Amino acid sequence: MDSLSVDQNIPAADIGAGGTRRSFREELDTKRYHVVDDHWAGRVPAQYGVAPRVRIGQGKWFNLLWLIPIGLVLLITAIAIAQGLREIPAVQDFLSRYPGESALPANAPVGLPAWVGWQHFLNLFMMVFIIRSGVSIMADHPRFYWTRHSTPGKDWFRMQKPVPSDPLYTAKEDSITLPDGVGLPGRRHSIGLARWWHLGVDTVWLLNGVLFFVLIFTTGQWMRLVPLRWDVIPNAASAALQYLSLDWPVENGWTNYNSLQLIAYFITVFIAAPLALITGLGMSPALSTRFRRVSTIFNIQVARSLHFFVLCWFVMFIVVHVTLVMTTGALRNLNHMYASQDNDSWVGFGIFAASMVLVVVGWLAATPFTYRHPRTVQKVGFALIGRAERLFEHIDSKPGQYTEKDISPYFWHNGKYPDSEEYQTLQAGNFADYTLRVNGLVENPVELTLAQVKALTYHDQITQHFCIQGWSGVAKWGGVSMQTILDLVQPKPEAKWVIFYSFADGPDGGAYYDAQPIEQMSYKLTMLAYDLNGETVSFGHGAPLRLRNETQVGFKMVKWIKGIEFVEDFSEIGAGFGGYHNDHEFFGYRQAI
Ligand SMILES: Nc1nc2c(c(=O)[nH]1)N[C@H]1C(S)=C(S)[C@@H](COP(=O)(O)O)O[C@H]1N2
Ligand SMILES: [Mo]
């Protein structure tokens, strides 16, 4: 390995204290950012998208705002039809045979205990944050697809203009701003913070959900939420007809919900809530790469689209549910849920009103709080979900999931392109003068020319990329396994993290970098790529070298790599949070979901 040892002719400018190679650390932005203000993240200007559209055919799009007038017309028509139907004797017979509610088992509980009220409140309180941060995450890549190829023009839904033809257009440029109070936090490309809210509150919501399931099954309350007799179906049809004809079914919620209500609750509790979890996990790079069979059909884009349908269900449910609670004996209904009593007093209303104050305060405060204390959001979010993410990081997936025919026709670009003179000179010379420096806590620091890198054992893999923003794509990457680099440099036992430095600066200035746990460097699918789909990797995708770590989301895969450093911990590197996006945009350093 003589030819690969450290070059002794280090340019004077590169010599730091102690006569050793100056570290790339000195090129990082070490400022600690503690607020999200107008200067945040290189001043991303606001950009509002377009009204949501669904694709109908090749290049035709249907603006969903039309659903408002169309829905109104359909509703009025349906009301007229329902009222007409109720004149028919056979329908009247049907309504008296199936009045709208199905009998409960004799041992079913009567009334709603206080814990139901608490559960209900906690759920609705958390839902506000979950939904708003979810919409923010969606706005970061405001398009949906059905295949794992996120091909422009093949999206089935978009809230953004068609993808422009500029070949270097990035997914970040595609992200949109949400109006204040809608998104959490709402600012364009604030996905790092939105994810802490979403995944952090999700964790509490899921734990609370487990408690809810335990309680409903130990108290018999489940019998009121699960269809147990076949006549639930005709009764639900009957209730629907009664609602539509504006002659509503008798309210008896204290003892038994009507069948339509029961089905709506059943779907919400037993289908939509679990599906939210399953479709959420379906977007994880670590899980999708590990559970190949499942992810063949249930790929990230199917999961993301279905996750959106779950959101639509919850929003629709909330609107209809609240409307009906308020229009079918509000005081009594509120007493049921908020005061565990079945009467017309104002007690339930009082508790409800107080709880709404909390909801509104939480709603109004969440975004300003996030902008003022983003590090707190990052820290609390990590405390809530970090453990689960770490669990998924232990997955070392096998190669061979995809073949050449799975390669995506379009692979989005992302990030800020390098524009330094240093990079441009190297690029103009076809990287003949490029060297990759690998040093830090290693026995054998090296400085390799590109030719020397290419002389190392070749490795290739066809894998799927998962950008944190939501797009994905399959590509064939060729280059060197990180294991080969480890064998060459021999990390010391103290080395725990591996820092990848880029030629490109991030949006606030200072070089882009990312810290990766050393265990993941010997995973089968961790590599330095210099080929993409059988050709030399292009400028846009990271020439001459870029990282692949298929356990993680895309922002961790540094492009335009110039150096690698092995360290014990990353607190002294950059601003100390483990990567450019962590320092500047409050991302987390473990992102296996
Ligand atoms: N140097 C650098 N590397 C980077 C980024 C960046 O901004 N700078 N963006 C990351 C993000 S967010 C993604 S999704 C991937 C995108 O890789 P691609 O452009 O090859 O698709 O690169 C990652 N590597
Ligand atoms: Mo990304």
* 169 CA → ligand 2 middle, Å: 13
pLDDT at residue 20 greater than cutoff 70: no
Q: Which amino acid is at 90?
A: A
* 514 CA → ligand 1 middle, Å: 11
Task: Please give the pLDDT value at position 259.
Answer: 97
Lowest mean pLDDT segment, chosen from 248-252, 269-273, 491-495: 248-252
589 lines ligand 1 (CB under 6 A): no
Task: Please give the pLDDT value at position 8.
Answer: 46
Judge whether 123 and 359 are in contact, CB under 8 Å: no
408 lines ligand 1 (CB under 6 A): no
Average of per-residue pLDDT values in the chain: 95
| SS3 call for 427 | helix
Q: What is the mean pLDDT of residues 394-419?
A: 96
Give a yes or no: residue 503 inside a domain: yes
- Identify whether residues 212 and 259 lie together within a single domain: yes
pLDDT at residue 185 greater than cutoff 70: yes
Give a yes or no: residue 590 inside a domain: no
The 10s digit of each residue's pLDDT in 56-83 is 988 899 999 999 999 999 999 999 999 9
pLDDT band at 1 (very low <50, low <70, confident <90, very high): very low
Give a yes or no: residue 508 inside a domain: yes
- Identify whether residues 199 and 307 lie together within a single domain: yes
Task: Please give the pLDDT value at position 3.
Answer: 46
pLDDT band at 11 (very low <50, low <70, confident <90, very high): low
Judge whether 21 and 437 are in contact, CB under 8 Å: yes
Q: Measuring from atom 11 of ligand 1, which residue has the nearest CA?
A: 555
User: With left for phi above 0 and alpha for psi between -120 and 50, is residue 578 left, alpha or beta?
Assistant: left
Domain that holds residue 510: 2-30+396-585
Final residue belonging to a domain, choices 393, 424, 451: 393
- Identify whether residues 344 and 439 lie together within a single domain: no
258 lines ligand 1 (CB under 6 A): no
Q: Which value, in Å, is the radius of gyration of the alpha carbons in the chain?
A: 28
Q: What is the mean pLDDT of residues 379-404?
A: 94
Q: Measuring from atom 21 of ligand 1, which residue has the nearest CA?
A: 413
Q: Measuring from atom 1 of ligand 1, which residue has the nearest CA?
A: 559
Share of the chain above pLDDT 70, in %: 96
Give a yes or no: residue 69 inside a domain: yes
pLDDT at residue 7 greater than cutoff 80: no
504 lines ligand 1 (CB under 6 A): yes
Give a yes or no: residue 111 inside a domain: yes
- Identify whether residues 389 and 432 lie together within a single domain: no
- Identify whether residues 416 and 361 lie together within a single domain: no
Q: Identify the residue whose tokens are 């990567």.
A: 579
- Identify whether residues 370 and 403 lie together within a single domain: no
Q: Where are the beta strands (DSSP E) in 88-247?
A: 143-144, 157-158
Task: Please give the pLDDT value at position 21.
Answer: 64
Q: Measuring from atom 16 of ligand 1, which residue has the nearest CA?
A: 414
The 10s digit of each residue's pLDDT in 502-519 is 999 999 999 999 999 999
* 53 CA → ligand 1 middle, Å: 28
User: With left for phi above 0 and alpha for psi between -120 and 50, is residue 415 left, alpha or beta?
Assistant: left
306 lines ligand 1 (CB under 6 A): no
d(CA 265, CA 257): 9
* 33 CA → ligand 1 middle, Å: 21
- Identify whether residues 473 and 564 lie together within a single domain: yes
- Identify whether residues 142 and 213 lie together within a single domain: yes
Q: Measuring from atom 10 of ligand 1, which residue has the nearest CA?
A: 555
The 10s digit of each residue's pLDDT in 476-504 is 999 999 999 999 999 999 999 999 999 99
- Kindly state the tokens that stand for 499: 């820092």
- Identify whether residues 533 and 417 lie together within a single domain: yes
- Identify whether residues 80 and 145 lie together within a single domain: yes
DSSP structure class, residue 105: P
Helix (H), strand (E) counts: the chain: 19, 14
pLDDT at residue 559 greater than cutoff 90: yes
From 555, 564, 580, 583, mutation site for ligand 1 pocket: most ligand atoms within 8 A of C-beta: 555
Lowest mean pLDDT segment, chosen from 246-250, 401-405, 545-549: 246-250
221 lines ligand 1 (CB under 6 A): no
Give a yes or no: residue 39 inside a domain: no
* 414 CA → ligand 2 middle, Å: 6
Give a yes or no: residue 45 inside a domain: no
Q: Is 0.85 topped by the overall pTM?
A: yes
* 467 CA → ligand 2 middle, Å: 4
Task: Please give the pLDDT value at position 12.
Answer: 52
Give a yes or no: residue 511 inside a domain: yes
From 547, 559, 591, mutation site for ligand 1 pocket: most ligand atoms within 8 A of C-beta: 559
The count of C-alpha atoms lying within 13 angstroms of the C-alpha of 298, restricted to the half-sphere facing its C-beta, is: 21
Q: Measuring from atom 5 of ligand 1, which residue has the nearest CA?
A: 415
Task: Please give the pLDDT value at position 378.
Answer: 97
Final residue belonging to a domain, choices 393, 427, 447: 393
466 lines ligand 1 (CB under 6 A): no
- Kindly state the tokens that stand for 107: 């041992």
* 111 CA → ligand 1 middle, Å: 55
The count of domains in the chain is 2
Q: Measuring from atom 19 of ligand 1, which residue has the nearest CA?
A: 413
- Identify whether residues 457 and 413 lie together within a single domain: yes
- Identify whether residues 371 and 505 lie together within a single domain: no
Final residue belonging to a domain, choices 365, 393, 421: 393
The 10s digit of each residue's pLDDT in 283-297 is 999 999 999 999 999
What CATH number is associated with residue 9? 3.90.420.10
* Biggest CA-to-CA distance, the chain: 100
pLDDT at residue 48 greater than cutoff 90: yes
User: With left for phi above 0 and alpha for psi between -120 and 50, is residue 41 left, alpha or beta?
Assistant: left
**Which of 148, 150, 149, 127 has its CA nearest to residue 140?**
150
Atom of ligand 1 nearest to the CA of 171: 14
Rounded to 5 degrees, what angle do the CA atoms 121, 271, 145 make? 110
